[in-house]
Structure 1
Amino acid sequence: MPAKQTPRHKPDILLPTSYNDLKFTQIRTQHHEKAPSVIILTLHRPGNHNAFTDTMRAEIEQAYAMFDADERVKCIVVTGDGRIFCAGADLDEGFGEGVNGADAERVQDHRDGGGRVALAIHHCRKPSIAALQGSAVGIGITMTLPMNIRIAYASAKIGFVFSRRGLIMEACSSFFLPRLIGHSRAMQAVTTGSTYLASHKIWDGLFAEVCDKAEDVLPRALEVAEDVVKNTSSVSTYLMKELMYRDAGSPEGQHLLDSRVIYELFGSPDNTEGVKSFMEKRPANFTGTMDKTNVTGYPWWMPIDTLGRPKVAPTGRAKI
């Protein structure tokens, strides 16, 4: 019989007083001045086109663990420093020693770094918006697929270049990409391994908007984020995302599932506030969180715990 797998659990985390003060080395985090509950995460490797490294992977995972647990965070906008969003994996670091290296981990124990980032973003119960102010290839684009919204510079070069590197698409992108743009366009993108402008029809469905000027991308993404945190319930958004990605497999099954979920949301704090604010013709003040909302059927799927969801340490809360 195979050895019993022990679930992996991340340790409890401490939340920062301000995300402006975190001392990351390859990313930057800061509060949006107009809406402090929006956090701007910037890929930050000046001179290296924000190429992805294991350090960047660890820092993004750490940041997203905080975002998920922190009730003060309502939305995340991810962008890049300089002209390039992310040039893909840093080839100077290589891809490790492979399965035959002296220090290699067992193949069944390996967790793709891009996939760890994608799942950290996907598992986060707060919406993310990608602001691609420049080109993105490889992990530079696959890390954005689990995000709720992508806004790009029209002339940015976008490429799933894996077939040109002797590799396969990673970061769970074989799950996300065909769902976002369809199998036909996804197959063309990965078969050619070419780069296409963000405005190219092959990416129809991938980008919610494209901007004619690179400098307009981040402001537009922040404008969308401001609207999201001002007018929507993060509980509703998260559950709708999960309903789409973790569906029951048939219209009838989905009817039973969404009937149960919506029934339990009737009268919830966010539902009560949403109706009341509408009737009173005022902005809503949604304060609900998944931890404080009773949805007894959640999760309705069988969770696969690859790394575990961290929790806030008992002394880890601070005010913004």
Structure 2
Amino acid sequence: MGPAEVQKVSLPSSYPSLPFTQIRCHHVPENSKDVTPTIVVELYRPGKHNAFTDTMMYELEEAFKLFDVDDRVKCIVVTGNGRIYCAGADLERGFVGGQEDFRDHRDGGGRVALAIHRCRKPVIGALQGSAVGIGITMTLPMSIRVAYKNAKIGLIMEACSSFFLPRLIGMSKALHLTTTGSTYPASHPLLNTLFSETLDTPDAVLPRALEIADEIVQNTSTVSSYLMKELMYRDTGSAEGQHLLDSKVIYEMFGSKDNTEGVQSFLQKRPVKFVGSMQQDAPGSWPWYTTVDTSNRPQAEGYLFKPKL
């Protein structure tokens, strides 16, 4: 696919105005008419414990596609409506199979997990209540997870969790969790490396996640944060190979607008204002890995496509 064929995405003037039915998007502060650097995504199925459906899958995919290419957005916080974060798949609707060739089927939870994983903005999970199945596995690609300490967590191997979970908590704990099939409180020792913080009350979770989001927005470079995540997940497999990759990436970043701004703000003793984006300012060495999906990532309308030479 050449530059002229890159898919263009129209960005919304307001995220709360998007016609989603099973998720809600909120600006921060909520009364802002303009798109804010932090966006809250609320899983929204009142009376259904925010159980996961195909509709929720499509809406989350669409939302994260927009966040990925929208340079106005710097951080996303995902939470649930009511007392449950997400009860997992909606069992009342059941599981449907056999309607397509198994070679063509893509697990819905995995589609959401990969949409979050591919998003080039930091994502924070704010689990104000229990999360089971896809309810917890959708949070594994997120950069940070904050939870109510007594939220029940139940894990199975789906939604790419066999890739993410052992990397986040280690093989031993991951095997224990999946072998027993039990639910555990978020504060359980088996989960103590999955959550950055576990809080005493459900009401404390979202405000704390928003504090972390504000810290990210005010102090970090979107480009640097994403590249550091990529370096960890897309490693070369050896210390030597990683040294060569580190050297290449950081050398390019020395001349970037965000690096210049970081140095100047430090010398001038003023708050930093990073403006770099992966669309405009990604180093030429990225991506250094071979992508499984060879289709081009969508771009926001108004940005120029810069082919790699």
Would you say the 8 A contact 1:133–1:218 is kept in 2? Answer: yes
Looking at structure 2, the residues matched to 79 and 286 of structure 1 have their Cα atoms a distance apart, in angstroms, of 27
Would you say the 8 A contact 1:264–1:294 is kept in 2? Answer: no
Q: CA deviation at 1:28?
A: 0.2
Residues 40-79 of structure 1 correspond to what in structure 2 (within 5 A)? Answer: 40-79=40-79
Gaps of 5+ in 2: 304-309
Q: Which residue of 2 aligns with 1:219?
A: 207
Q: Structure 1 runs of 4+ off > 3 angstroms?
A: none
1:28 to 24, 42, 45: 24
1:247-275 Cα distance to aligned partner (Å, 9 max, x none)? 01011110000100000000200000011
Would you say the 8 A contact 2:186–2:192 is kept in 1? Answer: no
Number of residues of Structure 1 aligned to a counterpart in Structure 2: 295
Q: Which residue of 2 aligns with 1:106?
A: 101
Q: Which residue of 2 aligns with 1:165?
A: none
Q: Which residue of 2 aligns with 1:228?
A: 216
Would you say the 8 A contact 1:142–1:170 is kept in 2? Answer: yes
- Report the aligned-residue RMSD: 1.6
The letter of the residue matching 1:13 is V
1:230-256 Cα distance to aligned partner (Å, 9 max, x none)? 000010000000000000101111000
1:128 to 123, 127, 151: 123
Looking at structure 2, the residues matched to 217 and 306 of structure 1 have their Cα atoms a distance apart, in angstroms, of 38
1:188 aligns with 2:184: no
Looking at structure 1, the residues matched to 224 and 40 of structure 2 have their Cα atoms a distance apart, in angstroms, of 22
Q: Which moved further from structure 2: 291-300 or 150-159? A: 291-300
Q: CA deviation at 1:119?
A: 0.5
The letter of the residue matching 1:130 is G
Higher relative contact order (CA 8 A, sep 6+): 1
The letter of the residue matching 1:143 is M
Looking at structure 1, the residues matched to 47 and 301 of structure 2 have their Cα atoms a distance apart, in angstroms, of 37
Q: CA deviation at 1:291?
A: 1.7
Q: CA deviation at 1:306?
A: 7.2
1:142 aligns with 2:137: yes
Looking at structure 1, the residues matched to 13 and 281 of structure 2 have their Cα atoms a distance apart, in angstroms, of 25
Q: CA deviation at 1:280?
A: 1.3
Q: Which residue of 1 aligns with 2:239?
A: 251
Would you say the 8 A contact 2:113–2:138 is kept in 1? Answer: yes
Q: CA deviation at 1:76?
A: 0.1
1:295 aligns with 2:283: yes
Q: CA deviation at 1:314?
A: 4.8
- Change in 2 beyond 3 A, CA 1:233/1:88: same
Q: Which moved further from structure 2: 10-19 or 228-237? A: 10-19
Q: CA deviation at 1:309?
A: 2.3
- Change in 2 beyond 3 A, CA 1:307/1:108: farther
1:85 aligns with 2:122: no
Looking at structure 2, the residues matched to 242 and 92 of structure 1 have their Cα atoms a distance apart, in angstroms, of 38
1:310 aligns with 2:298: yes
Q: Which residue of 1 aligns with 2:150?
A: 155
The letter of the residue matching 2:292 is I
Would you say the 8 A contact 2:128–2:147 is kept in 1? Answer: yes
Q: Which moved further from structure 2: 26-35 or 180-189? A: 26-35
Q: CA deviation at 1:10?
A: 9.0
**TM-score, normalisation: structure 1:** 0.89
1:185 partner SS: helix
Q: CA deviation at 1:93?
A: 1.4
**TM-score, normalisation: structure 2:** 0.92
Q: CA deviation at 1:294?
A: 4.7
Looking at structure 2, the residues matched to 307 and 26 of structure 1 have their Cα atoms a distance apart, in angstroms, of 28
Looking at structure 2, the residues matched to 93 and 308 of structure 1 have their Cα atoms a distance apart, in angstroms, of 34
Gaps of 5+ in 1: 1-8, 163-168, 316-320
Looking at structure 2, the residues matched to 10 and 187 of structure 1 have their Cα atoms a distance apart, in angstroms, of 42
